[in-house]
């Protein structure tokens, strides 16, 4: 009887080692995903982030699927994804931006430098809407369907390879 107990430490250790070995082979998923997928957007109405475009509100998301892009002029990956947003816009996708903790002059400078794919940009100075939709960083891009329901979340900058996936998600949300 006693001898059975003596194997318990080894068994526990083997379990741990197996788990750890398995986890080492896994791609490390560092993202905190929003659990709001499938839920309607929360109510919000944000002031314009700069003088050039109108602000953003929940009411804007009606009729057709749109992209909701959480970004900021101070965020470096946002520069990297600018061409992809431009390409999406050229394919007829409407992109609503929410600028996090940003100043109007910085927003204007950013758009002048890296292009402006947005139809509207709301200013979220205290990350209020960002928190309300479960986004945990910039940039993030959400697919919102014509009824204002969140359908898909893309975390991080959009690479060229991500564009077809986003287009497919927009199509699915139609």
Partner 1 sequence: MIRFILAAIIALLALSVAAQDSMPPAPYAYNQLADPRLEAEASALMHTLRCLKCQSQSIADSDAPMAGDMRHQVRSRILAGESPDEIRRWLIARYGDYVSYEPEVSSTTWPLFVAPLLLLLVVGAVLLRRLGKRRSDAEGGDVA
Partner 2 sequence: MIAEIGLAALWLAAALAVLQMVSGAAALRTGPAGEANPLAIYARPAAVVQAFLAVLAFLLLLRAFAITDLSLKLVASNSHSMKPLLYKLTGTWGNHEGSMLLWVGVLAASGGLLAGFEKRLPERTMGATLAVQGFVALGFYAFLLLASNPFERLPVPAAEGTGLNPLLQDIGLAIHPPTLYAGYVGLSVAFSLAMGALLTREVNPSFARVMRPWVLGAWVLLTLGITAGSYWAYYELGWGGWWFWDPVENASLMPWLAATALMHSVSVLAARDALRTWTIMLGVLAFSMSMLGTFLVRSGVLTSVHAFAVDPERGAFILGLLGLYIGGAFTIFALRAGAVAEGKRFAALSREGALVFNNVMLSAILAIVLLGTLYPLLTEAFDVRVSVGPPYFNPASAIFAIPMLLVMAVGPLLRWKSDKPARLQFELALIAALVIGVIALVSFFGRFPLLPLLGLGLAAALAVAALLPLKGRKLARVPVATWGMVLAHFGVAVSLFGMACEGAFSEEKLAAVAVGGTEQINDFAVMLDAVTPVAGPNWTAIEASLAVRQDGGEPVILTPQARNFWSPPQSTSESALLTKWNGQLYAVIGNQAEDGRWQIRIWWKPFVTFIWYGGLLIGLGGILAIAGRVKVDVTRRRAASKGDQRRADLEALGAVAPQPAE
Structure tokens at 15: 């379990």
Give the shortest CB-92-to-partner 1 separation in angstroms: 30
Give the shortest CB-9-to-partner 2 separation in angstroms: 5
93 vs 134, which CB is nearer to partner 1?
Answer: 134
Q: For partner 1, which residue of 48, 127, 151, 162 counts as binding (CB under 8 A)? A: 127
- Give the sign of the dihedral formed by CA 94, CA 154, CA 162, CA 73: positive
Q: Is 35 in the site for partner 1 (CB under 8 A)?
A: yes
Cα Rg, the chain, nearest whole Å: 21
Residue 96, beta-bridge partner list: 68, 120
Q: Is 58 in the site for partner 1 (CB under 8 A)?
A: no
Give the shortest CB-47-to-partner 1 separation in angstroms: 14
Determine the interface stretch with partner 1 among 63-71, 82-90, 95-103, 160-168 (rule: CB under 8 A): 95-103
Q: For partner 1, which residue of 40, 54, 74, 114 counts as binding (CB under 8 A)? A: 74
Answer whether 71's CB lies under 8 Å from 99's CB: yes
59 to each of 43, 110, 116, 142, 144, how far by Cα in Å?
A: 8, 26, 22, 16, 12
Q: Is 44 in the site for partner 1 (CB under 8 A)?
A: no
Answer whether 128's CB lies under 8 Å from 100's CB: no
Q: Is 102 in the site for partner 1 (CB under 8 A)?
A: yes
Q: For partner 1, which residue of 41, 67, 133, 173 counts as binding (CB under 8 A)? A: 133
Subset of 25-84 contacting partner 2 (CB under 8 A): 26, 28-30, 32
Say which residues have a Cβ less than 8 Å from residue 98's Cβ, sequence separation at least 6.
Answer: 46, 49, 56, 68, 69, 70, 71, 121, 122, 123, 124, 129, 130
What is the binding site for partner 2 (CB under 8 A)? 2-3, 6-7, 9-10, 13-14, 16-17, 19-24, 26, 28-30, 32
């Amino acid at each position: 009887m006693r001898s059975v107990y003596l194997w318990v430490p080894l068994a526990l250790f083997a379990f741990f080692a197996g788990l750890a070995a398995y986890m080492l082979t896994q791609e490390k998923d560092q993202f905190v995903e929003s659990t709001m997928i499938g839920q309607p957007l929360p109510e919000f109405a944000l002031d314009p982030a700069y003088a050039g475009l109108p602000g953003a509100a929940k009411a804007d998301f009606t009729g057709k699927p749109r992209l909701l892009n959480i970004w900021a002029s101070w965020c470096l990956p946002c520069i990297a994804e600018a061409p992809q947003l431009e390409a999406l816009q050229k394919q007829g996708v409407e992109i609503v931006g929410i600028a996090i903790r940003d100043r109007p002059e910085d927003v204007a400078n950013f758009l002048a430098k890296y292009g402006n794919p947005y139809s509207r940009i709301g200013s979220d100075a205290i990350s209020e809407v960002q928190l309300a939709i479960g986004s945990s960083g910039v940039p993030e891009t959400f697919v919102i369907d014509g009824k204002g329901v969140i359908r898909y979340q893309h975390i991080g900058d959009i690479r060229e390879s991500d564009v077809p996936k986003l287009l497919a998600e927009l199509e699915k949300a139609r």
